[in-house]
């Protein structure tokens, strides 16, 4: 998965605002969502994001996986994220 080409992010202390310039959709995310977004824009896969956040916050992979998956699904449904057919999730 990767950020849709038309999406721009504005980061704040509380998280970020994602704006899709192609369709006008805007989505506000909290600080954890902003961390996930930054990992995505650096090319991380879902599994890599889960592992990094789990290590950073001392949370088991099982505890964080569902939350990350739900967040990424929400981004995709809002046309802020696209599946990368060449990269394993």
Q: What is the pTM of this model?
A: 0.86
Q: What is the pLDDT along the chain (89 residues), one digit of tens a residue?
A: 778 889 999 999 999 999 999 989 899 999 999 999 999 999 999 999 999 999 999 999 999 999 999 999 999 888 898 876 444 44
Query: For residues 45 and 39, is the Cβ–Cβ distance under 8 A?
Result: no
Phi/psi of residue 80, each to 5°? -100, -10
| Structure confidence at residue 88 (pLDDT) | 46
Give domain 2-81's CATH architecture.
Answer: Alpha-Beta Complex (3.90)
Domain extent listing, the chain:
2-81
């Amino acid at each position: 998965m990767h950020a849709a080409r038309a999406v721009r992010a504005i980061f704040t202390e509380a998280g970020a605002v994602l704006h899709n310039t192609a369709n006008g959709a805007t989505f506000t995310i909290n600080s954890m969502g902003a961390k996930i977004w930054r990992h995505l824009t650096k090319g991380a896969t879902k599994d890599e994001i889960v592992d990094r956040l789990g290590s950073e916050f001392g949370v088991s992979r099982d505890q964080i996986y569902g939350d990350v998956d739900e967040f990424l699904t929400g981004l995709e449904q809002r046309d802020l994220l696209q599946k990368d057919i060449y990269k394993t999730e």
